[in-house]
Amino acid sequence: MVQDNTDNWLLRVRGLTKIYGDPISNSIAYTGPKFGSNICPETDAIVACAEIDFDLYPGEVLGVVGESGSGKSTLVQLLYFDGEATGGEVYFRSFEDGDTNILRVTNQKKRYLRNHLMGMVYQNPRDGLNFKFSAGGNIAEKLLMANEFNVGRIRNRASSLLTQTEVPVERMDNAPATFSGGMQQRVQISKAIANNPPLIFLDEVTTGLDVSVQAKVLDLIRGLQQDLGISMIVVSHDLSVIRMLTDRTMVLKNGRIVESGLTDQILQDPQHAYTQLLVSSLL
């Protein structure tokens, strides 16, 4: 039988772990789905996520689902260098051909990775946008960080990005605080893709938006995936978002992956009790 071309991954994650509190305790052994908690009973350390393993392939959209507090945001934030991992290894094909554990590179290289090769859309727009700058200013900031200093080119790029994400260009010089939630998410998306990164993270992009706005944001993301072929990790507790956007899905509980698989398989033939419960609420 033939083997998968296992060297073809874009991102390879092994043993990714984040513990708040005493990391030398046995907190990993005493937390997780078996215990129904991510808090170590001995030390009160919080195991936000532990022993996360997965590969992401070029052009792939990977979903992350799970209940509140299961570690979804932590997972993507660690990959985007918001906060430092307690342990684990991450390899990224677009950086030094995937030979280097990017969790252990210099801060300068981490900035390079963030600014040139990755994008993030945060659960809360206030984490992703600088509310003191205009919408255009926020995008300009991201372009500047990737060493684009030409004012004309920056303005052109910002306005084309806003057009692409259907933010009225005449609002370019307005502050995000004056935007609706859906528009703020669109500006975040513009910013995330500004430097044409091969990989972006989307954390609950549609949460809190009203249904018709949600639908349009989902359409936008699907379009980006189809037209630009960007790889994405999509975090959502909403299974219909996962169904619409992703090829494969990982299910998180108490900081661990309890199950992963093809998205249609996860939704129609879930194996783990927790996933069965999650899915039964959808049907």
Binding site for Mg ion (CB under 5 A): 73
72 binds ligand ATP (CB under 6 A): yes
Helices 151-164, 181-193: axis angle to 10 degrees equals 130
Helix (H, G, I), strand (E, B) or coil at 234: strand
Collapsing DSSP to helix, strand or coil, 179 comes out as coil
Give the nearer residue to other proteins in terms of CB position, either 103 or 252. Answer: 252
Is residue 210 part of the contact set for other proteins (CB under 8 A)?
no
Q: How many residues bind ligand ATP (CB under 6 A)?
A: 16
Stretch that binds ligand ATP, among 68-76, 86-94, 136-144, 184-192 (CB under 6 A): 68-76
Q: What are phi and psi of 5, to 5 degrees?
A: -80, 85
Q: What CA dihedral angle connects 23, 24, 25 and 26, to 10 degrees?
A: 90
Indicate the DSSP class of residue 39.
Answer: B
Q: How far is the CB of 264 from Mg ion (least distance, A)?
A: 15
Site for ligand ATP in 224-283 (CB under 6 A): 237, 268-269
Q: Does 147 bind other proteins (CB under 8 A)?
A: no
Among 10, 11, 45, 48, binds ligand ATP (CB under 6 A): 48
Select the span of 139-147, 163-171, 178-186, 274-282 touching other proteins (CB under 8 A). 274-282
Which residue, 20 or 30, is less far from ligand ATP as judged by CB? 20
Residue 253 makes contact with other proteins by CB under 8 A: no
Give CA torsion, residues 152, 158, 163, 166, to 10 deg. -160
**Pick from 182, 174, 166, 111: nearest CA to 138:** 174
